[in-house]
Chains A and B, each alone.
Chain A
Amino acid sequence: MSHFTKQGLSPFKTKRGFLNLHYRFSFPCIFSPSKRGIDTHASRHLDQKPLISDAELRFEFAHHDPAVARVNNGSFGSCPASIIAAQQRWQLQVLRQPDDFYLNRLRPGILHTRTVIKGLINAGDVDEISIVDNATTAAAIVLQQAGWAFAEGRFNQGDAAVMFCHAYGAVKKSVEAYFSRAGGRVIEVQYPFPISSKYEIISEFQKVLEKARSDGHKVRLALIDHITSMPSVVIPVKELVEICRNEDVDQIFVDAAHAMGCTKVDMQEIGADYYTSNLHKWFFCPPSVSFLYCRKSETLPDLHHPTVSHEYGNGLPIESSWIGTRDYSAQLVVPEVVEFVSRFEGGIEGIRKRNHEKVVEMGQMLVKAWGTNLGSPPEMCSSMAMVGLPACLGISSDWDGLKLRTHLRECFVIEVHIYYREPEDGEVNPVTGYARISHQVYNTIDDYCKLRDAVNKLVNDGFTCGLLSN
């Protein structure tokens, strides 16, 4: 099946229809109410609405700067025009009569969102779902509780938290601000990058937990990314959670900022204690909204939102639903977003699969064009892929990576996140820079051709990062 058209339409569009398939998967199993027990609202709409057309899709993202090859959906996500309109309708309702809204409509609206999410992620109970601003906030909630545990003597000085060396910068700082500050020890799990298989991660993780045990360090908290940010790799969370259970880790927190809409998200499958994902990255919500799942348990401690309101003590979902006067509208459009994704073949699963296939295809195209390599095998890519940049570009620091990114934005009108990888001793002509390319429904092959050609031009011109001023 050729998905490319000369007109530069989305590779998934042919002149006839949305997908060049011989038959249609109208209702993939993820939306089967019996399998997932989800709100039938989504499946009803699958029955009724036509699939989104080319023109409609372009309209939905017409507010994106058309000059930019926007291959960085991973950083800030994207939101269709109809969802922004829905959000503004909610905002107007508030401004029209805020007292009535806050007293009578906000809580049911948030409960509706929570219920929809519960269905989407296969959680057991809506009480397990809280809505917060973003994964950064969710991390602070989990870590603040650990800080109290030290202060109140439930954790001992020196008890450990385990996290990946490639964990998100803000989460690392949060661990420092709450866990280390309170007297905890932090153990980082190193794994190689580029990476060849998930077993490299699993074995390193196992080793670290075993060593912690033999050194007599109680591991109170494991922080596991579902999809790391930089460099972006899908982590085998299910296996790692199992190892944690075998090693008697107290609390397992999965930071899945990217996961929703980007990889499979199933709370029963994964089995973590806490799990958070942003909905504004890959799930078309406006900035910003995310969920924090907390497994119902007799042994897990109470979590609290750090912004304390009169709802304090009523459970995290209720506390999070009122943290003072603010704009909650992004949290209220989740039902509209579910309708939106249902207009794509296969719903969010279909979108996810096609994004993954496309980003791998584009990644491989770039790798061939530049003579480099992918940072991980395709099965460890999500809707993002790490693509090696030519070594001659001379990316020799994080700062170089940022300068190159700026240069690509300003001179080539391309938005792409660049990762700097420190080479190992003895590496000859190492690939030290990786472009993290994303694919979302609005991307076309032209975006990646533009990136390909820009880098080729830089190479041909003898460009190096050293030439860029600070």
Chain B
Amino acid sequence: MELVKPSRSLVVYSAPNLHPWTHPRATLADNSSNSKTPLLLQLQLHRRATATATNHNHNHNHNNHTAPQKPKLSSLSAADLRSEFAHHDPAVARINNGSFGSCPATIIAAQHRWHLRFIQQPDDFYFNVLQSSILRSRTLIKDLINADHVEEVSIVDNATTAAAIVFQQTAWAFAEGRFNKGDATVMLHYAYGAVKKSVQAYISRAGGRVIEVQLPFPVRSNDEIICEFRKALEQGKSDGHKVRLAVIDHITSMPSVVIPVKELVKICREEGVDRVFVDAAHAIGCTEVDMKEIGADVYTSNLHKWFFCPPSVAFLYCRKSDETLDLHHPVVSHEYGNGLAIESGWIGTRDYSAQLVVPEVLEFVNRFEGGIEGIRKRNHEKVVEMGEMLMKAWGTNLGSPPKMCSSMVMVGLPVCLGILSDSDALKLRTHLRDCFGIEVPIYYRAH
């Protein structure tokens, strides 16, 4: 991919993965500012995205995953698909699935049914239904992500909670003298804002040193990332300190890039990093997620972003090892000490229904050709295609090569828009929402 002179700011464009697709029309060149006809991509039906019944194998055998064997439901027609997302505001060009995800109507209905069951007879639900249902979700997730043991899989609200769980354990290690003041935590400069704050709130506060891996952006290849990562590890080990924790994004949020986690985990092992935590908030349903392949100690991903669960549910995978990691949920209940998965299964009275619909979601995705893998692949192809179309139309560039894109892509905006700060980017985003009916996050790239 040839990089043109990078523009100042880039837009994240994420595939509206379930809209019927078309080949874009030339009308896209018409940058009409008519607020009544927002700059929508005029899309026709893309044959591949409609799940026609071919010999599709939804057991993912090629990935060594074992999806649950269930009788196949009928494929989703175009009309079915539209009705599944009919609750989305039809006036909005919703190309920001990455921020808050999306949830089909069928799943919302399933969630309501679970919720109703609880309020119908909550005591009976608590004693007889909740834990077995959470276990069922955990088991399905274990298979999806190629984990070995269901004890390795805990369910939490979101990746932000998962990060707090990991970092709190690190803080205790400092407080209890297992880590020395000045021992390092390495994280990417483009780590998610909440995760950076969490590192500050727990690790810096407890005496840990934080080293950020500076990454170039736009980025051309994995090697650029790997090289900077090695440098950061060296810095962490200086003055006789240890690198206690590496926090690696699987897919960064802003700017969005797929990080070569497998290679970085290997480097961490070679360099004697104590623990590797992969923050993969976007990953499941958006890139390949295989715990044995990646080899991290701890890995978290949201299921409500790209895996059609309602807000909110995430898993936290913690690899079984001889050295117990002793992670605890920060909201302590009577289950304290029974292992993170059990602790997370009861953190006081609340609505657990989003955690219980994972089986229904699997049924839903299996109505698409190729299941979640098929959806993911087509989203990726489409978002790259759309990104290239926009790039050509605007005379800009993509932020990374296609193979470093997931179901999201960074598309350069024309320099003449004059985006000179984070605040400008936010204002432009608001302007696009309010005046054009378009939802798209804008990233400001500082020089």
Binding site for B on A (CB under 8 A): 63-65, 68, 70, 72, 75-79, 84, 88, 91-92, 94-100, 102-103, 133-137, 139-140, 143-144, 147-148, 150-151, 169-170, 173-174, 176-178, 181-182, 278, 280-281, 286-288, 304, 306-310, 312-313, 323-327, 330, 406, 409, 415
Q: Which 9 pairs, one residue from A and one from B, show the smallest C-beta to C-beta distance?
A: A136-B348, A324-B160, A306-B330, A76-B122, A98-B100, A308-B198, A288-B350, A324-B158, A134-B348
Residues of chain B lying within 8 A (CB to CB) of residue A326: 157-158, 311-312
Is B161 in contact with A323, judged by CB distance below 8 angstroms?
yes
Asked, given contacts A75-B122, A77-B349, A92-B87, whether A310 binds B331 with beta carbons under 8 Å apart, the answer is: no
**B residues 306-343 with Cβ under 8 Å of A?**
310-312, 328, 330-334, 336-337
B428 to chain A, nearest CB (A): 14
17 contacts between A and B (CB under 8 A): A78-B119, A94-B100, A95-B87, A134-B348, A137-B348, A140-B330, A177-B336, A307-B164, A308-B164, A308-B194, A310-B193, A324-B157, A324-B194, A325-B101, A326-B158, A327-B311, A415-B121
Is A63 in contact with B120, judged by CB distance below 8 angstroms?
yes
Interface size on B, residues (CB 8 A): 67
Residues of chain B lying within 8 A (CB to CB) of residue A170: 332-334, 348
Is B351 in contact with A288, judged by CB distance below 8 angstroms?
yes
**B residues 135-186 with Cβ under 8 Å of A?**
157-161, 163-164, 167-168, 171-172, 175
Stretch at the interface among B200-208, B223-231, B412-420: B200-208
A333 to chain B, nearest CB (A): 12
Residues of chain A lying within 8 A (CB to CB) of residue B304: 325
Stretch at the interface among B36-44, B51-59, B123-131, B287-295: B123-131
Residues of chain A lying within 8 A (CB to CB) of residue B348: 133-137, 170, 288
- In the complex, per-residue mask of B85-120: 1 if CB is within 8 Å of any chain A CB, else 0: 001110010101001111100001000100110111
Is A140 in contact with B332, judged by CB distance below 8 angstroms?
yes
Is A307 in contact with B161, judged by CB distance below 8 angstroms?
yes
- In the bound assembly, the distance between CA atoms of A278 and B112 in angstroms comes to 22
Residues of chain B lying within 8 A (CB to CB) of residue A148: 205
Residues of chain A lying within 8 A (CB to CB) of residue B334: 169-170, 173
**Which of A68, A134, A287 contacts B121, CB < 8 Å?**
A68
Is A137 in contact with B331, judged by CB distance below 8 angstroms?
yes
- In the bound assembly, the distance between CA atoms of A325 and B101 in angstroms comes to 10
- In the complex, per-residue mask of B268-296: 1 if CB is within 8 Å of any chain A CB, else 0: 00000000000000000000000000000
Residues of chain A lying within 8 A (CB to CB) of residue B193: 310
Is B99 in contact with A98, judged by CB distance below 8 angstroms?
yes
Asked, given contacts A99-B439, A177-B332, A327-B312, whether A310 binds B88 with beta carbons under 8 Å apart, the answer is: no
B123 to chain A, nearest CB (A): 5
Is A63 in contact with B311, judged by CB distance below 8 angstroms?
no
Residue of B nearest to A132 (CB): B331
Residues of chain B lying within 8 A (CB to CB) of residue A310: 193-194, 197
Residues of chain A lying within 8 A (CB to CB) of residue B257: none
Asked, given contacts A76-B123, A173-B336, A324-B159, whether A151 binds B311 with beta carbons under 8 Å apart, the answer is: no
**B445 part of interface (Cβ distance < 8 Å):** no
**Which of B96, B160, B168, B350 contacts A99, CB < 8 Å?**
B96
Residue of B nearest to A75 (CB): B123
The dominant DSSP class at the B interface is helix
Is A84 in contact with B328, judged by CB distance below 8 angstroms?
no
B330 to chain A, nearest CB (A): 3
- In the bound assembly, the distance between CA atoms of A178 and B344 in angstroms comes to 17
- In the bound assembly, the distance between CA atoms of A133 and B351 in angstroms comes to 10
Is A287 in contact with B332, judged by CB distance below 8 angstroms?
no
- In the bound assembly, the distance between CA atoms of A307 and B168 in angstroms comes to 10
Is A64 in contact with B120, judged by CB distance below 8 angstroms?
yes
Residues of chain B lying within 8 A (CB to CB) of residue A143: 332
- In the bound assembly, the distance between CA atoms of A181 and B169 in angstroms comes to 12
- In the bound assembly, the distance between CA atoms of A383 and B142 in angstroms comes to 44
Residues of chain B lying within 8 A (CB to CB) of residue A144: 330
**B50 part of interface (Cβ distance < 8 Å):** no
Residue of A nearest to B350 (CB): A288
Is B87 in contact with A308, judged by CB distance below 8 angstroms?
no
- In the bound assembly, the distance between CA atoms of A139 and B101 in angstroms comes to 31
A144 to chain B, nearest CB (A): 7
Most central of A135, A137, A144, A306 by chain B CB within 10 Å: A306
**B347 part of interface (Cβ distance < 8 Å):** yes
Residue of A nearest to B127 (CB): A406
Is A327 in contact with B164, judged by CB distance below 8 angstroms?
no
Is A84 in contact with B119, judged by CB distance below 8 angstroms?
yes
- In the bound assembly, the distance between CA atoms of A406 and B112 in angstroms comes to 27
Is B332 in contact with A136, judged by CB distance below 8 angstroms?
yes
Residues of chain B lying within 8 A (CB to CB) of residue A286: 119, 351
- In the bound assembly, the distance between CA atoms of A349 and B347 in angstroms comes to 30
A331 to chain B, nearest CB (A): 11
Most central of B330, B430, B439 by chain A CB within 10 Å: B330
Beyond A70-B121, A92-B87, 20 additional pairs, beta carbon < 8 A? A65-B120, A65-B121, A68-B121, A76-B349, A84-B119, A103-B430, A134-B350, A136-B333, A136-B348, A177-B332, A182-B175, A287-B122, A307-B161, A309-B197, A323-B158, A324-B194, A327-B311, A327-B312, A327-B351, A327-B354
**B302 part of interface (Cβ distance < 8 Å):** yes
Residues of chain A lying within 8 A (CB to CB) of residue B337: 173
Residues of chain A lying within 8 A (CB to CB) of residue B167: 308
Most central of A68, A70, A281, A324 by chain B CB within 10 Å: A324
A32 to chain B, nearest CB (A): 32
**B433 part of interface (Cβ distance < 8 Å):** yes
Asked, given contacts A95-B87, A324-B161, whether A173 binds B332 with beta carbons under 8 Å apart, the answer is: yes
- In the bound assembly, the distance between CA atoms of A178 and B171 in angstroms comes to 12
